[in-house]
Amino acid sequence: MGSSIQNPFLQIVEHPDGTVTRPYVPESLPNPKDAAVLSKDLTLNPSHGTYVRIYLPADAKSKGQKLPVVLFLHGGGFVLFSPKDATYHASCEVMATSVQALVISASYRLAPETRLPGAYYDAVEALSWVQSQAANLATADPWLSTHGNFSKVFMMGSSSGGNIVYQAAVRAKSMDLSPIRLSGVIINQPYFGGIERSKSEEGSENDPLVPLHSNDMLWRLTLPIGADRDHEFANPMKTTGLAEAVGLGRCMVLGLIGDPLYDRQKAFADMLEQKGVDVVKRFDDTGFHAIELFVPPKAEALFREVREFVYGA
């Protein structure tokens, strides 16, 4: 990963009263009108302080193209970051151009101020917002009404965002989403946990991004009070509610050899497959957790897979 990359999870300070002090994270403003990828922020739920940042490739705007819609949920162990984070902002720019999609990066309430399932509810609310835009084109944001192909809507999440989109997609199964169509769910290096250490977690005390100390801390800050890491929010493979996966729709799950969470990600994808989900599994490459944020060739490879999944649906 390189010594130049600072691990923000090691900089979280826990306080005895259950609050945390987060490290400073550089943020980016929406892009100017002459940028290759246009972006802007729209309010989602004022009472929760949630919003979305939309990314539209400028060439698609100039040509009047309609693009698949990718609703994206960022990572950060449920505790850090937002769509304004400079690293995720840059990643979403690359995603919009590489995938050729209208990307909607949604914020969600962070733990420990809002523990799970709060982030799941926020993700479902973001999906409902996309539905409301499609249902009311006359009052919808013009980027979405003009350039959004609502018959090809995808949810995508990385790390904790991957956990969130899985839980949100499960909840969306019981919703009438018309006139949009949820065409697929993309779960990149999802953040799952468990009491018993997996083989890939063993020996990860000094992992550059998710060392065991940070891993345990994030779950402690995130799960409902009194819950352990075998709670269904952390460990869907341990629960009796695996029937939730049935009827989930088309999914892609990606993991990298070298990520301490690899074993859990692969077991999750296998569980989906066993439940009859149409799942595309990508687990042959090597790297570390969230590598696409730091290594451009890995980002290109990820978004190539995403593009193939989106346009092959």
Contacts of 199 (CB under 8 A, 6+ apart): 263
**pLDDT band at residue 294, thresholds of 50, 70 and 90?**
very high
The ranges assigned to domains in the chain are 8-312
Which pLDDT belongs to residue 284? 94
Q: What is the mean pLDDT of residues 77-82?
A: 98
Residue 109's CB: how many other CB atoms inside 10 A? Answer: 16
**pLDDT band at residue 2, thresholds of 50, 70 and 90?**
very low
Q: What is the mean pLDDT of residues 263-269?
A: 96
Q: What is the pLDDT of residues 35-66, one digit of tens each?
A: 999 999 999 999 999 999 999 999 998 898 99
The answer to whether residue 159 is catalytic is yes
Which pLDDT belongs to residue 238? 82
Which pLDDT belongs to residue 1? 38
Catalytic residue among 89, 147, 231, 289: 289
Catalytic residue among 159, 160, 183, 204: 159
Could you tell me the CA-to-CA distances from 202 to 220, 253, 257, 260 in Å, in that order?
A: 19, 22, 14, 8
Between strands 182-188 and 148-158, the pairing is parallel
**pLDDT band at residue 242, thresholds of 50, 70 and 90?**
low
Residue 250's CB: how many other CB atoms inside 10 A? Answer: 17
Q: Quick check: 170 and 277 in contact, CB under 8 A?
A: no
The answer to whether residue 289 is catalytic is yes
Catalytic residue among 85, 122, 207, 259: 259
Which pLDDT belongs to residue 163? 98
**pLDDT band at residue 34, thresholds of 50, 70 and 90?**
confident
Could you tell me the CA-to-CA distances from 222 to 11, 18, 117, 155, 165 in Å, in that order?
A: 17, 11, 9, 22, 16
Burial of 291 (0-12, 13-18, 19+ CB in 10 A): buried
Architecture of the domain whose range is 8-312: 3-Layer(aba) Sandwich (3.40)
Q: What is the mean pLDDT of residues 8-37?
A: 92
Per-residue tokens: 11: 């900089």
Q: What is the pLDDT of residues 121-156, one digit of tens each?
A: 999 999 999 999 999 999 999 999 999 999 999 999
Residue 241 has pLDDT above 80, yes or no: no
> In terms of Cα–Cα distance, which of 3, 129, 35, 20 is closest to 78?
20
The answer to whether residue 3 is catalytic is no
